[in-house]
Structure 1
């Protein structure tokens, strides 16, 4: 018997799909083809038109599987889901294990203020935190602004059985832009001066307490450590990992963290009830998902599409890096449909452990030297929604000529948004392209607009499916497919000559902090 969808739900889904599709999304004729290349035309029609699967793939990954914390069952499920999609499309793919990581599964988090009034607080347990093993109630204590380590140690005698606030309490959770738009200049200046003074005093006290103060609070018998890391945007917080693995670590919204801090500071006896569940699963396999379309003429030369699969789990990992994952997944689907017999082998890497220091892509580079030695180009994406608008040549002095040729065959509706930085300089941080630049092998970052990503979705509790702009995701997936096709067909190899930079941390491959042997476990 067929189930009926309520009219309201059906309308909502239709409206959401239409909104994300945008006007003319299915009109594959609205473009400028610089060549008669049938592969480029087919990629455009399939990637930018009604054949795109970007919306459905994104919804399944971000809503149904959700966040993909390294070592969690959801990360493993996401790997299996990728393998199933590639199998459907006839693309070879496998999990490549490279070590182990801490297995951990999140349960629910309930945090309530019980005194001096009752209020349910917005918060959640931090990654790799132990749970509370049932509900606990505790008075709330604020980290003191200690003048010395000895003064801090004396305060530790009072924390047993308490929940301790260990982050700087923001004086205001109103974004700075709002102050600038609506307050007088004098008020804005006074707010900032007061905030800077309070922040300076707070961090001076933290330094005096010592770098291991969180573990010492836990060892002194605290029942929970409460944190708050505001992103400086409306209702948005950065959510990372627990400061210790011995007592529960929980994050509160900027507003609710500030409420508890003010109550504690003024002696108004705040008390909380915490019920947070989690389970440690022992060491679990760490892996990348690697797919390939074998080359027919130069099978030992490689084009690599790159994006990390793992995420923090404060939300759904939508723009960091669900969009990059779907971009490269959809690009491989387009390549298989329009270019099933590439000249060079085309690989895709969905990396684990990017958030833990690029460990998945670094391990891949170490474990697959033939792919790195034969690398024509790696194209990495890892910063959220919006169209690709900037590609740096990373100091590879001959790369610009290749991009110029590749772009000349791609519709201007895609390339017209993009600035090429030629020859650019190598990044000394960032994402998984660094694992190849360190060799050095040609690795490039397909970069989208940064500011609102940094403020609103990067590592925050608001990084959810609804933030994705699907016109741009379709554009980016089509761009990745076209670049992979052009790089595969290029009659010449991209040279590895790099700009010589001044000595020091930026001195060259192998000298950057990111260029280090692969990390094979959580312990090192």
Structure 2
């Protein structure tokens, strides 16, 4: 009997050692593959330079969906486009902007997303600024003077130098003086709009209806040469964003009575109603195929740049992670799926649709890992409000190489996110979802939704760091013999309501965008 017991103990110890040895080998192979054979630069070139920006409802977005499928299939990974809605189809064309008077100069800017097109060959007109209005009657009187003209519809910026540049070189008194001047200009601009009797959106429609030939805006992002590029709210005339330097010049010329004249050729096409998709990739599990580890990143972007860091780098992390896992871990215990979501930028629509349309998958997700905020290495992971997340997330992080793990600050149990990125869609459904939060590399000023969000801003060493991290997390979550606990914390009392916080609940997506 003693001999049988010794044999049993030896068998258990030997089996455990083999499991650990196999685990170590897979992890070592993951690290070697990504270190020595990374495909990140090739993928980045194809996605950013060849496919380009990925605005929902555009041919580029469809091209991106199809390109992702092509890449997965070239690696032997099953992939499909899953339709979740319809959107206003639109295609960006050229934008040329030239000042004709009081001198000739080409200007730097672009039409906003979903902007109306100019006629073929463009349109020219005088540029005018809005005067100070004392009443709605003043505004309506002025509207009668703007037919055939371009209207400057944004506040004037007194400096194109970001605050950090002022802090480095200006005297404290000069810096404070500039800040007060900028604040006063912004405040008066808002009050002036209020005195028109319209809100910040409807006053533009009134200008459009009065016969203006275009709206000129400038949304500076508090960095050298950086503009936020979003969408036009107008239907009949183009909306152009001019970079701060050129916008300020036109403003000063108009204010001084120099009557600047510009020519704008902004071509775009309306494409009617088009289908929109999430792209889903899958490596089928062998032991527990109906349980899932989810990799998550949104594929869509705004289109002022090429969407490189929002969220091209997150997309690259998940693409490359799937490639590495397929090569080094081709038979996972649980099914590993990846979601490349559409229309995150308009309200997490793709991921919300996936949650709503795939309840059997969602309820059986072991864990989800989402990456969104820029090109930097991951520096923060929280437990997202799951009471026992410390236990399993720490065990999954344990084999991550020290040179990757040392940068990461963890906090437990954390709290659930109500929005911001696609992790919120899955947290609302009770899925243990962990946002891989990155070092920002001046993300908010310089690349987030800007004209400078391009390939050259990618820090490939940091993205490679994130692939190794994500691949190991996915592997460990897949191999874990236990299901990750979904027990949620009791949220603290809200100081605003005096009541305990409530866990976010799933929200339905907007499935027909821009079609009203």
Question: By the TM > 0.5 criterion, same fold?
Answer: yes
The residue that corresponds to 2:101 in the other structure is 115
Q: In 2, are the aligned partners of 1:34 and 1:411 still within 8 Å (CA)?
A: no
- Alignment partners' CA distance in 1, 2:139 and 2:384: 47
3-state DSSP class of the match of 2:367? strand
Q: In 2, are the aligned partners of 1:145 and 1:206 still within 8 Å (CA)?
A: no
- Alignment partners' CA distance in 2, 1:396 and 1:169: 47
User: 1:350 aligned to 340, 365, 369, which one?
Assistant: 340
The residue that corresponds to 2:24 in the other structure is 37
Determine if the alignment matches structure 1 residue 216 to structure 2 residue 202.
no
User: 1:508 aligned to 499, 502, 507, which one?
Assistant: 502
- Alignment partners' CA distance in 2, 1:145 and 1:330: 55
Shift of 1:474: 1.0
The one-character-per-residue Cα deviations of 1:491-516 (angstroms, maximum 9, x if unpaired) are 222222222223559932346xxx42
Shift of 1:146: 2.4
The residue that corresponds to 1:375 in the other structure is 365
The residue that corresponds to 1:410 in the other structure is 400
How has the CA–CA distance of structure 1 residues 392 and 245 changed in structure 2, closer, same or farther, with 3 Å as cutoff? farther
Alignment of 1:480-495 (within 5 A): 480-495=470-485
- Alignment partners' CA distance in 2, 1:206 and 1:35: 67
Q: In 2, are the aligned partners of 1:48 and 1:475 still within 8 Å (CA)?
A: no
- Alignment partners' CA distance in 2, 1:282 and 1:273: 28
- Alignment partners' CA distance in 2, 1:200 and 1:451: 30
User: 2:328 aligned to 319, 335, 338, which one?
Assistant: 338
Determine if the alignment matches structure 1 residue 153 to structure 2 residue 140.
yes
Determine if the alignment matches structure 1 residue 519 to structure 2 residue 510.
yes
TM-score by length of 2: 0.92
Shift of 1:305: 0.4
- Alignment partners' CA distance in 2, 1:426 and 1:488: 23
Deviating more after overlay: 484-493 vs 139-148:
139-148
Shift of 1:36: 6.4
Shift of 1:362: 0.3
Q: In 1, are the aligned partners of 2:332 and 2:475 still within 8 Å (CA)?
A: yes
Determine if the alignment matches structure 1 residue 430 to structure 2 residue 417.
no
Determine if the alignment matches structure 1 residue 303 to structure 2 residue 293.
yes
The residue that corresponds to 2:252 in the other structure is 262
Alignment of 1:130-141 (within 5 A): 130-134=116-120, 135-141=122-128
TM-score by length of 1: 0.90
Shift of 1:35: 9.3
- Alignment partners' CA distance in 2, 1:121 and 1:235: 13
How has the CA–CA distance of structure 1 residues 36 and 394 changed in structure 2, closer, same or farther, with 3 Å as cutoff? closer
- Alignment partners' CA distance in 2, 1:465 and 1:340: 31
- Alignment partners' CA distance in 2, 1:205 and 1:53: 53
- Alignment partners' CA distance in 2, 1:52 and 1:278: 37
The residue that corresponds to 1:100 in the other structure is 86
User: 2:390 aligned to 400, 410, 414, which one?
Assistant: 400
- Alignment partners' CA distance in 2, 1:451 and 1:298: 39
The one-character-per-residue Cα deviations of 1:24-49 (angstroms, maximum 9, x if unpaired) are xxxxxxxxx99961110110001122
Q: In 2, are the aligned partners of 1:61 and 1:78 still within 8 Å (CA)?
A: yes
Alignment of 1:55-204 (within 5 A): 55-134=41-120, 135-204=122-191
How has the CA–CA distance of structure 1 residues 203 and 57 changed in structure 2, closer, same or farther, with 3 Å as cutoff? same
Aligned residues: 488
The one-character-per-residue Cα deviations of 1:453-493 (angstroms, maximum 9, x if unpaired) are 00100001011101111111111112111111111111222
3-state DSSP class of the match of 1:340? coil
- Alignment partners' CA distance in 2, 1:264 and 1:443: 53
- Alignment partners' CA distance in 2, 1:506 and 1:365: 26
The one-character-per-residue Cα deviations of 1:369-421 (angstroms, maximum 9, x if unpaired) are 11110011111111111101111221111112111101111111111110112
Q: Which blocks of at least 5 consecutive residues in structure 2 are unaligned?
A: 1-19
Q: Which blocks of at least 5 consecutive residues in structure 1 are unaligned?
A: 1-32
Deviating more after overlay: 357-366 vs 136-145:
136-145
- Alignment partners' CA distance in 2, 1:484 and 1:478: 10
- Alignment partners' CA distance in 2, 1:101 and 1:120: 34
Structure with bigger gyration radius:
2
3-state DSSP class of the match of 2:512? coil
Across the aligned residues of Structure 1 and Structure 2, the Cα RMSD in angstroms comes to 1.7
The residue that corresponds to 2:378 in the other structure is 388
- Alignment partners' CA distance in 2, 1:202 and 1:165: 12
Q: In 1, are the aligned partners of 2:126 and 2:262 still within 8 Å (CA)?
A: yes
- Alignment partners' CA distance in 1, 2:100 and 2:445: 32
Deviating more after overlay: 347-356 vs 155-164:
155-164
3-state DSSP class of the match of 1:356? coil
The one-character-per-residue Cα deviations of 1:283-327 (angstroms, maximum 9, x if unpaired) are 111100001111111111111000000011111110011101010
